[in-house]
Amino acid sequence: MQVKQAVITGTGSFVPPVVKTNQEFTANPFYGEDHLRIDTDPQEVVRKFQQITGIAERRYANNDMDASDMALAAARVALEDAACDPETIDQIIVAHNFGNVVKNTIQTDVLPALASRVKHGLAIKNPSCIPYDILFGCPGWIQGVIQADAFFKAGMAKKCLVIGTEALSRVLDVYDRDSMIFSDGAGAAVLEIQDGEDPAPGILSTAVQAHCGEEVDYLYFGKSNFPNADPGIRYIKMKGRKVYEYAMTYVPLAMKDCLDKSGVPIDQLKKVFLHQANEKMDEGIIKAMYKLYGAVAPKDIMPMSIHKLGNSSVATVPTLYDMVKRGMMAEHQLQPGDVVLFASVGAGMNINAFCYRV
């Protein structure tokens, strides 16, 4: 039976060159939300941080590089991988949270949209190539993929470039322990609607949820933890315990909903590409999802890049998939016909997932 499905025909990523180790954070004193200095030795703070999150180092963009520059770099690799003429792209969808933030400033710039800047950088002349940005927290890239799939099904597009890019290093409060979590980077994918014989490659199912009650400000923009800091200058802030509890409660359910819609049995799932937020949290999510099926998660079901790359928000999932696809993780291999699950959670609070046959 012939089916039409959204297929990822090319991927690309940009991993920034500047390495920021945990040890470098010990030079600054840490303060709590109460603006009181944390008495624990910074070395011990860093040790406990790595034990919980798994993060040993992260990558930051060069001073002269913005989120849109990283998006363009990742897009070029994805287009080359897909052997795609940029003029044939119907939509450029760029997910981010803060737009461009020039180094040593705290003002975000989304005029024009980052997607428009990417189209300009690719020198695309086609006026029917529509660039736009989406804000959906860390799940932004997956949401862009889901939107592309919806446009394909509606007959409104045949080829989309979906990018996740973020320069979180520009909006960090160095006096906040949570600043050690975040990083910079970009990931991209070219998606096309293709005909194929069932079972064919492509997106099999999707799931999206949002909880915007008390959860709406679990991640937010707020003043520095430093005493008497300028309240007019704000940074990314996170209620870590609340985020963890939310993710553990709702993300496994959303992932199960997505997999159930696909009709693929849990024992046929080969990999889970989960947002790289926190190693312990991600491991807990996977364990909880399998428990919903009365099963135990197989070894090596979940590739992880967080140890060296940190949490680059919308860029983690496409970057991770690109790395695995290119054979950069020896213990994780993909074969044609493998079924994988992509999932993310983040500010909003939002959750999404899509099931995909390679």
Angle between helices 279-292 and 240-262 (to 10 degrees): 40
What pLDDT digit, counting tens, does each position of 197-236 carry?
A: 888 899 999 999 999 999 999 999 999 999 989 888 899 9
Given a contact cutoff of 8 angstroms between Cβ atoms, the answer to whether 140 and 164 are in contact is yes
Given a contact cutoff of 8 angstroms between Cβ atoms, the answer to whether 254 and 209 are in contact is yes
- Cβ neighbors of 330 (< 8 A, separation 6 or more) are none
- Cβ neighbors of 263 (< 8 A, separation 6 or more) are 204
Q: What is the pLDDT of residue 232?
A: 86
Q: Which of 169, 205, 210, 194 is nearest to 58 (CA)?
A: 169
Which domains occur in the chain, in start order? 2-197 (3.40.47.10), 202-357 (3.40.47.10)
Amino acid at 356: Y
- What confidence category does residue 196 fall into, taking pLDDT thresholds of 50, 70 and 90? confident
d(CA 141, CA 186): 10
Q: Which of 274, 287, 292, 296 is nearest to 353 (CA)?
A: 274
- Cβ neighbors of 135 (< 8 A, separation 6 or more) are 95, 96, 97
Asked if pLDDT for residue 313 goes beyond 80, the answer is: yes
Instruction: Give the mean pLDDT of 256-274.
Output: 97
d(CA 22, CA 25): 6
CA 185 to chain centre: 9
**Average pLDDT, whole number, for the chain?**
95
- What confidence category does residue 267 fall into, taking pLDDT thresholds of 50, 70 and 90? very high
Instruction: Give the mean pLDDT of 168-172.
Output: 94
- What confidence category does residue 137 fall into, taking pLDDT thresholds of 50, 70 and 90? very high
- What confidence category does residue 1 fall into, taking pLDDT thresholds of 50, 70 and 90? confident
What pLDDT digit, counting tens, does each position of 71-108 carry?
A: 999 999 999 999 999 999 999 999 999 999 988 777 88
Tokens of 88: 């044939």
What DSSP string runs through 318-358?
A: HHHHHHHHTT-STT----TT-EEEEEEEETTTEEEEEEEE-
Instruction: Give the mean pLDDT of 310-333.
Output: 96
Q: Which residue intervals of the chain are DSSP H helices? A: 42-53, 67-81, 114-121, 140-153, 240-262, 279-292, 306-309, 316-325
What pLDDT digit, counting tens, does each position of 44-63 carry?
A: 989 999 999 999 999 999 99
Q: What is the pTM of this model?
A: 0.94
Instruction: Give the mean pLDDT of 329-342.
Output: 94
Q: Which residues pair with 21 in a beta bridge?
A: 57
104 against 311, higher pLDDT: 311
Asked if pLDDT for residue 325 goes beyond 80, the answer is: yes
CA 109 to chain centre: 20
In percent, the amount of the chain with pLDDT more than 90 equals: 88
> What is the separation, in whole angstroms, between the first and last Cα of the chain?
18
Phi, psi (deg, nearest 5) at residue 329 = -125, 105
